[in-house]
Amino acid sequence: LALESDLRLALKHEQLELHYQPKVLLDNGKVIGSEALLRWHHPKMGMIPPGEFIGVAEETGLIIDLGRWVLHEACCTAAVMNADGLPPHKIAINLSPKQFQCPRLSQTVADVLQETGCRAEWIEVEITESLLLHNCEGVSTTLSQLHASGISIAIDDFGTGYSSLSYLANFPIDTLKIDRSFINRSDKRSRELVKAILSIARCLGQNVVAEGVETVDQEKFLAESGCAVAQGFYYSKPIPKSELLAANAVPE
């Protein structure tokens, strides 16, 4: 597998980069956080999107080292974004289910926080519904440890995976990210589904993020329906770290 050996080199030779997609408070338009999204600048093939190499990394086990790199890089950024005098900014990090097969995951995260001077409350981890499907004890323990340490836990692409409401009762979930397939449809049933998800989250005291917001109409509907936070091309595409930091400079 050429991609596998290239990916090993990529980690070593700094071809990987995180971009950050802002999350916006609908109340006032302020950026309150961002999602870290991996980018690979391949020397010959150019930019390779994560959809094309995360799977390879998972199959080969490279996701463990790759995932640690992502954690470290995102926590460094979170530490800078939350320096004295700056408004709070929480960075969300995508975790692969494969990373949970490593029993040391919560210790790894704790180590990275220590190394980078990042506080637990400055990061959130995004997990997929499929991780929760089998109600495995190791996953449950790790999520509880992460949560107890002050890290928030979000379910990514909520409503599209192996949806089961029971995991909302069984796991310490802080945030639901409503999948963009619900957001980008304007038919009555889709909109009622979004309202139903907002209602579940409200009753359980969870935060909600609407993903994939692209139009002012979508924003208007979400604001009227009581959704607090949104993310999507309407506000910003994922941006390099330098742009994120520049937008957050302390006002003179």
Binding region for Na ion (CB under 5 A): 94, 156
Q: Which phi and psi angles does 39 have, rounded to 5°? A: -130, 140
Binding segment toward ligand G, per CB under 6 A, in 9-17, 45-53, 77-85, 194-202: 45-53
Position among 30, 43, 49, 186 found at the interface with ligand G (CB under 6 A): 49
Position among 16, 21, 124, 131 found at the interface with ligand G (CB under 6 A): 21
Residue 109 and residue 69 in contact, taking contact as beta carbons nearer than 8 Å: no
With binding defined as CB under 6 A, does residue 154 bind ligand G? no
Give the nearest distance from C-beta 85 to ligand G in angstroms: 29
DSSP state for residue 7 in the 8-state scheme = H
Give the nearest distance from C-beta 177 to Mn ion in angstroms: 6
Position among 6, 73, 129, 211 found at the interface with ligand G (CB under 6 A): 211
Q: DSSP per residue over 20-89, as a string?
A: EEEEEETTT--EEEEEEEEEEEETTTEEE-GGGTHHHHHHHTTHHHHHHHHHHHHHHHHHHHT-TTSPP-
With binding defined as CB under 6 A, does residue 50 bind ligand G? yes
Q: Which does 51 bind (CB under 5 to 8 A by kind): ligand G, Mn ion, Na ion, none?
A: ligand G
For tokens 């470290």, what's the residue? 72
Q: Count other C-beta atoms under 10 Å from residue 226's C-beta.
A: 13
Q: Count other C-beta atoms under 10 Å from residue 124's C-beta.
A: 24
Residue 94 and residue 35 in contact, taking contact as beta carbons nearer than 8 Å: yes
Residue with Cβ nearer Mn ion (147 or 177): 177
Binding segment toward ligand G, per CB under 6 A, in 25-33, 147-155, 189-197, 206-214: 206-214
With binding defined as CB under 6 A, does residue 33 bind ligand G? no
Count CA atoms within 13 Å of residue 10 on its CB side: 28
Binding segment toward ligand G, per CB under 6 A, in 44-52, 115-123, 146-154, 191-199: 44-52
Beta pairing, strands 239-240 & 16-25: antiparallel
Under the rule (CB under 5 A), what is the footprint of Mn ion? 94, 126, 156
Residue with Cβ nearer ligand G (127 or 168): 127
